[in-house]
Structure formats: structure tokens, C-alpha cells
């Protein structure tokens, strides 16, 4: 059964941020390549944070 844990909500939030940032990069690139490229670190950092969350979830045996 699905356990309601803050880690699940954190992971879901990270996924939303990654998708939104990717959408922003996609929309910005034709207009301003520099602005689009400056948005990519947000995606990279959030992916890194998501890996940490997944690691914590494994430690707590949530996944």
C-alpha cells in the first residue's frame, strides 16, 4: 500500500520542477539561447536532489 511520506511529496515536487524547467528551456531556446542555457542548471541540480531523495527512500524501504 502507498505510504504517505514527505519523501514522496518531495520527489513529486522535484519532478514537477524538472518538467517545468525543461518546458521553459524549450520555449526560451528560440528566443534567447543564453537564457535557456542558464536555466539548465536548475534541471541538473533538481535531478541531483531527486537522486538524494530516492536514496533516502531506499534507506527507509519505501521503494
Per-residue pLDDT of 23-48, as tens digits, reads: 999 999 999 999 999 999 999 999 99
pLDDT over 80 (residue 1): no
Q: How confident is the model at residue 56 (pLDDT cuts 50, 70, 90)?
A: very high
DSSP letter for 58, please: H
Q: How far is CA 60 from CA 3, 16, 27, 30, in A?
A: 11, 23, 38, 43
d(CA 54, CA 26): 27
pLDDT over 70 (residue 2): no
Inter-residue contact 55 to 19 (CB < 8 Å)? no
Per-residue pLDDT of 4-21, as tens digits, reads: 788 999 999 999 999 999
Amino acid at each position: 500500500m502507498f505510504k504517505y511520506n514527505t519523501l514522496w511529496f518531495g520527489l513529486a515536487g522535484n519532478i514537477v520542477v524538472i518538467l517545468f524547467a525543461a518546458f521553459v528551456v524549450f520555449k526560451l531556446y528560440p528566443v534567447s539561447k543564453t537564457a535557456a542555457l542558464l536555466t539548465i542548471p536548475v534541471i541538473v541540480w533538481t535531478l541531483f536532489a531527486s537522486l538524494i531523495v530516492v536514496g533516502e527512500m531506499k534507506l527507509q524501504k519505501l521503494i
